[in-house]
Structure 1
Amino acid sequence: MFNPSQQDVRRFFCGVAAKSRAGHPMDALETLAGQWVGEHPEYAGDLADEQAALAAQHDGSDGRANPFLHLAMHLSISEQCSIDQPRGIRQAVELLAARRNSLHDAHHEAMECLGQMLWESQRSGRPPDGDAYVECVQKRATKD
C-alpha cells in the first residue's frame, strides 16, 4: 500500500509545480496534481522552494490552510471519484459539482466531509466510515 511521508508529499507537489512551470512532461498522477496546483495560484510561493517547503510548519496558527494537505485532499477526491471508492462518491461529487456549478467548489465541500470522516475515525479508533462520508457529500449536494 502506498503510504507517503509528509516529506514525500511535499516533494511531490513541489516537483509537480516545478515541472509545470518549466513545461516538462508529467505522468498521469502529476498531470492531475498539476491541474489542482493550477487552481491554487495562492500556493505558488509554498511550492517554489522545496527546501523551504520541507522545513515549513503548517499548524494553522497563521490562519492559512496547509497547502500540501489541501492539494493532497483534492488529489484524493479525484482518485476516489475515478474508481468510485467509496462506492457512490463519484455520483455524489458530480451532483455537488453540478449544484455548485464548479468541480473545484464541490471538492472543497467534499474535503470538509472527508476531513470529518478521518477525524471521527482517529477519535474513535475505528476504520473510516466511507458510507458516512458519501452521505455527507450527498447531503451537501441536495441542500440549497
Structure 2
Amino acid sequence: MPSDREGLRAFYVEAWRKRREGLPAEPLEHQVADVIAQHPEYHDLLESGPAALERDWTPESGQENPFLHMGLHLGLREQVATDRPAGIAALHRELAARHGLHEAEHRMAECLAEALWLAQRNNSLPDEVSYLNALRRIRDAG
C-alpha cells in the first residue's frame, strides 16, 4: 500500500473501482473494498475522481476524514487478526457480539485514534496498556 496521501487515496479509489466492476483484486484491495462497502456514505466521494484525492478534511471543518476513518477500521482488523496488542481479539469478539461488528469497530476506532494521537503528540510509540484499558472501559460500560 502506498505511503503518501495521494497514493493511498488512489489505492482506495482503485480497490473500490475493481469491486464495483467485478475485476480481480489483490488481497489488500479486497480488505479495503470490504471496508468501503460498509460505508455507503463514502461511495460518491470515491467515485468522484480527482476530488477524492485532493480534498482536505481538517478538525476545524467539523467533517470526518473518510480515509482516516476507513484506515482505522483496517488497522483494527489487522490488530485483531494478529491479537496485538495481546487481548484485543477477545475484546473485539465481546464488543462485536454485543453491538454488531461495524458498531464495535466504530467504538474501538475512537480508542485507537486517541492512542495514535497521544503517541504523535508525545513523539512516542502508542501506549498499548492505556489503549487496552480504554477498550475495556468501553466493554464494561455496556
What is the TM-score with the length of structure 1 in the denominator?
Answer: 0.90
Structure 2 residue 43 is the aligned partner of structure 1 residue 44: yes
Write the distance in 2 (CA, Å) between the matches of 1:57 and 1:80.
27
Q: Higher RCO, 1 or 2 (CA under 8 Å, sep at least 6)?
A: 1
| Residue 15 (structure 1) shift | 0.7
Structure 2 gaps, min length 5:
none
Correspondence for 1:142 = 140
- Residue 122 of structure 2 aligns with an amino acid whose one-letter code is S
Correspondence for 2:71 = 72
Listed as ranges, the matches of 1:1-144 within 5 Å are: 4-100=3-99, 102-144=100-142
- Residue 56 of structure 1 aligns with an amino acid whose one-letter code is R
Write the distance in 2 (CA, Å) between the matches of 1:39 and 1:13.
13
Write the distance in 2 (CA, Å) between the matches of 1:43 and 1:105.
17
Does the 8 A contact of 1:19 with 1:26 survive in 2? yes
- Residue 132 of structure 1 aligns with an amino acid whose one-letter code is S
Query: Does the C-alpha gap of structure 1 residues 50 and 86 become closer, same or farther in structure 2, counting only changes over 3 Å?
Result: farther
Query: Does the C-alpha gap of structure 1 residues 32 and 128 become closer, same or farther in structure 2, counting only changes over 3 Å?
Result: same
Write the distance in 2 (CA, Å) between the matches of 1:50 and 1:6.
15
| Residue 63 (structure 1) shift | 3.2
Does the 8 A contact of 1:46 with 1:67 survive in 2? no
Structure 1 gaps, min length 5:
none
Structure 1 residue ranges (4+ consecutive) displaced by more than 6 angstroms after TM superposition: none
Does the 8 A contact of 1:93 with 1:106 survive in 2? yes
Write the distance in 2 (CA, Å) between the matches of 1:46 and 1:97.
28
| Residue 49 (structure 1) shift | 3.0
Identity across aligned pairs (percent)? 34
Write the distance in 1 (CA, Å) between the matches of 2:49 and 2:135.
34
